[in-house]
Chains A and B, each alone.
Chain A
Amino acid sequence: MSGHRVARFIFCTMFVVVSTPWKAHGQRNDHIEGFRRFMEYCAGCHGDDGKGGSKVVSLATTLSVMTRSDAELTRIVHDGTTEGMPPFGQIGDANITAVVHYLRIIEGKSAATSIPAEAPVTGDVNAGRMLYLGKAQCSTCHMIRGRGGFIASDLTSYGRSRPADAILQAITTPDTPLVPSSRVVSVMTRTGLKLTGVLRYEDNFSLALQMKDGRYHLLTRSDLTDVHYTDHSLMPRDYGTRLTSKDLNDLVSFLIVASRSGRRDR
């Protein structure tokens, strides 16, 4: 592991321990272990963010990876692929399990999901669309096929890789798990300015916060007196109470159907 990666790991460990000591500790440790193993064995080709280099598949966003079961991914890591990925059986089952677990994190999923291509939807898709664009204000932050906001993740393919109950859960109990690059962080500068934004990057020396207007604050840690890590993203956490169960079902149905007509698979 390079010094850079060691530094990043130490930092990640530090912030997890400091900021969420009371959280489900076993789960967090799994994440860290998965992160370490991913950086050690996978990131060289698939990139630190798992999105691949230009000539290897994006593990974070490719539908055919996201929809594979844990068992299938475990087999692929163990045996390699005919497309050129080498086998990693020699790293041992525990490490492979950690890597597969971490893949689910960077995919923004809490668990493996395997869904039929045309899962039935039970809600009113048009009503769901109206909610998405209107009352629920999803499109303020999320983009689907080029329309909508940019500060939150693109949902064009979101509904294709997840069953309805997982989407519902992601709406009503967001941030389980919290995707690192979606975390809201507040910093205080030495000059007394408080900035709160989405943490797009960090290491021991610098961090990047993005504001809702798109502006990046590219900050040096030595210029900061405080960095506060929240345990959440920008995603509202009151949809479970603000929306009725019918609303939620309609919204889920819309996300599934909208993703079927998406052209992109990444």
Chain B
Amino acid sequence: MSLPSAGDSNHKHNWASVYGRFTSPVYRSLAVGWLLLAMHAVNGYGAEKAVEHTAASNSAPVSAHDIGLINVTQSDLVQKQLRDNWVSYNGDYTGQRYSSLTQITPGNVGHLVAQWVFHTGDIGGLEVTPVVVAGIMFVTSANDAYALDAKTGKLLWHHARPTTQGLIDDSARHHNRGVAILGTRLYMETDNAHLLCLDARSGGVIWDEAYATGNKNYGATSAPLIVKDKVLVGTAGGDDGVRGFLAAFDAETGKEKWRFWTIPGPGEKGSESWPGDMYLHGGGATWMPGTYDPDLNTLYWGTGNPSPDYDGSVRPGDDLYTSSLLALDPDTGKLKWYFQYTPHNLYDYDAVQTPVIVDAKFRGKPRRLIVTANRNGFLYILDRTNGKFLFAKQFAKLQNWATGIDENGRPISAGLIPDEKGVQVCPASGGATNWYSPSYDPATHMFYFRVLEACGIFTSKTEPFEEGRTYYSTGTQGVGETGKEYINAFDLRTLDFAWRDLQIGINKGWGGVMSTATGLVAHGDDAENFVILNGYTGKPLWHFNVGQLIRASPMSYAINGKQYFAIAAGSDVFSFALP
């Protein structure tokens, strides 16, 4: 592979190009002069010109770090190459988590060193992927948002909001996966399912919309997704008897524009699974960000397990649209198609894992694909233009709930039904993979993702829904020796696994994966190490002990040509770069 030299920064794209223009002497001089005029226009403070720019020189930039103007445009959101900025949870709309930055290579990654650590004060368990815009990093910890200087990790502003009391299950753990940014505004979800719009320049609250009402078991843990002029949010609570939905809000006003219920109401298609008022408690939560194809104007969003988790007797049939991938029109919320990975799911196999958008040859023909490694132990390839099933392959070695996948993509059930005595099912309820991010590298053609090999004893007994209590209808416990974790590399050319890297550790790490244009794969391993591998071989090239559990997915960004990797671990955010 031919690699650009170190220090290669892309000034052809979006932010970088805007900044690049303004650092040239002429433009900068003009800009400063314009700003000076603008300041005077709005100042009106008489003799005290508190903010003024003096263009005393028109030579080199102020410092190599002179960026910091937050303004995310539509072109930033639809960018085809992920470089200096990482503007959303997955960085871009594809969900590939593939950075085109090339400064850090297999040859020099061994020299990577920690640049800074930011301590959130969170008691632990950050699940955020940092967002970086123009050298400013945005992270969340529960209901708090922080803006940091991405070069130093120093705090620029902090929006504090107390955690909500009285929540249950996942929401009561107050996890939050991050922010979305449009223009100068930042959007985040709160533990009690409010959509907050903050001024990204100051952290001031512009509006605050409670978007999930009528059932106290709603909560939120995800990051919103911006599509055009709308902010898309889902909820948590799929194990607690909520009715799942995806909702779109006007980014300017906070007004709701549409809402797609993942559990059909009475008389709607699929309602035969939801007798009486069961549709109000059927789960199908939407607790991870989806992906978006601007060319097809289609939103792809995964849904969670049905509720109650382990008792299928109260929800006969397939339980649409749980454990499914939804293809929606982002303008109207209308369903274009759906694909259900695990019909009549009895094992808590959510399907919220990132539906990764891939344009690649499939069996020799260029196709528009969605690639997903599902919690149920199978990797799926779909045609994203119509939802047609193309391919599935079992990746979990420990898998006994299905005897296979049929030609339409429907699993062939092995008939394992949780009961009061308990039945052993693999994968365990935590899934053979989970929400931690996968990554696709179009250069290696590999799809990388974390695998958990484990089984559980599933028990079930019919119970009534009750607000304020979970709605699993009994539970699971581990069985056999502690599960093992792997990073898998699936090659889209051979439709087989290229390598499988065992993670020796404590089976508690839930670190996601990302890849870069130099063939690197970064992830948080199962032993509190941030690790960078050779994506072709799986061979570890570098690691750093962050000293805390990693339950988050990494990202990469650049400031003035210097590439960084960042990852949240425990209560802290870490950033790494070459010396």
What is A's interface to B at a CB cutoff of 8 Å?
Answer: 44-49, 51-58, 60-62, 137, 140, 143, 145-146, 150-151, 154, 156, 184, 189, 191-198, 200-201, 203, 205-206, 208, 210-220, 223, 232-234, 236-238, 242, 263-264, 266
Contacts and interface: CB of A to CB of B under 8 A. Distances in A.
A192 B56 contact: yes
Nearest to A202: B154
30 contacts: A46-B121, A49-B155, A51-B158, A52-B162, A53-B144, A54-B143, A54-B163, A55-B123, A55-B174, A57-B162, A143-B199, A191-B59, A191-B62, A194-B53, A195-B53, A201-B155, A208-B68, A210-B156, A211-B35, A211-B51, A212-B38, A212-B51, A213-B35, A214-B69, A214-B202, A217-B66, A218-B68, A218-B151, A232-B48, A263-B208
Given A61-B160, A211-B35, A211-B51, A193 B204 contact: no
B202 A150 contact: yes
Interface in B38-57: 38-39, 42-46, 48, 50-57
A221 B401 CA distance: 61
Contacts of A212: 38-39, 42-43, 51
Nearest to B150: A218
B402 interface: no
Given A54-B121, A60-B160, A266-B160, A234 B63 contact: no
Contacts of B122: 53-55
Given A146-B206, A214-B184, A263-B208, A54 B144 contact: yes
Contacts, number: 185
A20 B470 CA distance: 59
Contacts of A62: 162
Interface string B110-142: 000000000011110000000000011000011
Interface in B43-85: 43-46, 48, 50-57, 59-63, 65-70
Contacts of B136: 216
Q: 8 closest pairs, A vs B, by CB?
A: A53-B121, A54-B142, A216-B68, A192-B57, A214-B201, A194-B54, A51-B160, A146-B206
A12 to B, nearest CB: 15
Given A212-B39, A216-B136, A189 B197 contact: no
Contacts of B571: 53
Q: Is the interface of A mostly helix, strand, loop or mixed?
A: loop
A26 B285 CA distance: 58
A192 B162 contact: no
Interface residues of B, number: 63
A53 B162 contact: no
Given A55-B163, A146-B207, A151 B68 contact: no
Contacts of A218: 63, 65-68, 135, 149, 151-152
Nearest to B176: A54
Contacts of B48: 232, 236-238
A220 B151 CA distance: 10
A193 B57 contact: yes
B3 interface: no
A237 B205 CA distance: 27
Given A146-B197, A234-B51, A49 B69 contact: no
A264 B44 CA distance: 30
Nearest to B143: A54
A219 B62 contact: yes
Given A195-B62, A216-B149, A238 B162 contact: no
Contact of A234 (B50, B149, B156): B50
Given A55-B123, A217-B66, A200 B205 contact: no
Nearest to A207: B154
B12 interface: no
Most chain A beta-carbon neighbours within 10 Å: one of B39, B50, B66, B199: B50
B160 A154 contact: no
A56 to B, nearest CB: 7
B149 A201 contact: yes
A178 to B, nearest CB: 13
A110 B228 CA distance: 46
A47 B44 CA distance: 36
Given A219-B63, A223-B63, A263-B208, A208 B53 contact: no
Given A61-B160, A150-B202, A200-B157, A217 B44 contact: no
Nearest to A156: B205
Most chain B beta-carbon neighbours within 10 Å: one of A191, A210, A216, A233: A216
B65 A55 contact: no
A44 to B, nearest CB: 8
Given A191-B60, A223-B63, A237-B48, A54 B205 contact: no
Nearest to B161: A266
B70 A196 contact: no
A236 B136 CA distance: 29
Contact of A201 (B42, B54, B156, B205): B156
A200 B156 contact: yes
Nearest to A234: B50
A266 B497 CA distance: 51
Contacts of A242: 46
A191 B61 CA distance: 8
Nearest to B62: A189
Given A49-B158, A60-B160, A203-B154, A193 B56 contact: yes
A194 B57 CA distance: 9
A154 B149 contact: no
B481 to A, nearest CB: 34
Contacts of A47: 121, 158, 160
A237 to B, nearest CB: 7
B155 A48 contact: yes
Given A51-B144, A53-B141, 10 more contacts: A55-B163, A60-B160, A151-B201, A151-B202, A194-B56, A212-B43, A217-B66, A237-B48, A263-B208, A266-B160
Contacts of B67: 218
Contacts of A46: 121
